[in-house]
Chains A and B, each alone.
Chain A
Amino acid sequence: MSWAAGTLILLGALLAFSGSLGLARLKTFYERVHPPTMGTTLGTGLILLGSMLHFSALEARPVLHEILIGVFMTLSTPVTYLLLVRAALHRDRAKGRDPLHGAPEGDQGER
């Protein structure tokens, strides 16, 4: 049991680390949006699973309240990144550098 929990936590932390590595290394903002998503999706999921396994074994009863953080992250992650990308597009356009200009068709009009 402790092997499984340890491996899950280690893998989750590794994903969160590579997410931040990508954030620090990639060249443009729109590329940098992608890597941190690793930490918020699978990274968080694995660490929560590991924590559930560990506490369930420790207290000899199922400990499931980690699901709360999981549900919350599932709801908040897309909203955060959707808002941020929208804000970045808006700011780029305001500066006269629309990244979608000349990009594939379907870039006119904002909802």
Chain B
Amino acid sequence: MNLSFFPLAVSVAQTLLGLAMLLGMLRLLRGPRAQDRVLALDTLYVNAMLLVLTVGIRSGDSLYFEVALIIGMLGFVSTAALARFLLRGEVIE
């Protein structure tokens, strides 16, 4: 078994996820409309969650798993709230 493949693969994966976050940021800044920005924010959240997961894999610490779970949940709740805001103009009626 070639043991050096795994760290390399994780590093490349982290680079890809970082680039993905940059692309999401680009869409977030460029818009043009609010729904594009919300979609970009959701993509950013998902990519950040995956990045935290790979950080956890790299360090071998399963604490990062909980961090990823929380990021994912916050992402879902905030995107749902923002989408609702776009739909109604208010979050809680």
A adjacent to B, CB under 8 Å: yes
Q: Which residues of A are interface residues toward B (Cβ below 8 A)?
A: 1-3, 5-7, 9-10, 12-14, 16-17, 19-21, 23-24, 29, 32-33, 36, 39-40, 43-44, 47-48, 50-51, 54-55, 58, 63, 65-66, 68-69, 72-73, 76, 79-80, 83-84, 86-88, 90-91
**Chain B's interface: helix, strand, loop or mixed, by majority?**
helix
Q: Does B73 contact A (CB under 8 A)?
A: yes
Contact B57 A19 (CB under 8 A): no
Contact A39 B43 (CB under 8 A): yes
Q: How far is the CB of B58 from chain A (nearest CB, A)?
A: 10
Could you pull out 8 A-B pairs where Cβ atoms are within 8 angstroms? Answer: A16-B46, A17-B16, A23-B43, A47-B13, A47-B54, A58-B60, A87-B83, A87-B86
Q: Which residues of B are interface residues toward A (Cβ below 8 A)?
A: 1-3, 5-6, 8-10, 12-14, 16-17, 19-21, 23-24, 26-27, 33-36, 38-40, 42-43, 46-47, 49-50, 53-54, 56-57, 60, 62, 65, 68-69, 72-73, 76, 79-80, 83-84, 86-87
A44 and B35 in contact (CB under 8 A), knowing A9-B57, A80-B76, A87-B83?
no
A80 and B69 in contact (CB under 8 A), knowing A24-B23, A32-B39?
no
A9 and B13 in contact (CB under 8 A), knowing A20-B20, A47-B54, A84-B38?
yes
Ordered nearest first, which 3 A-B pairs have the shortest CB separation? A6-B9, A13-B13, A20-B20
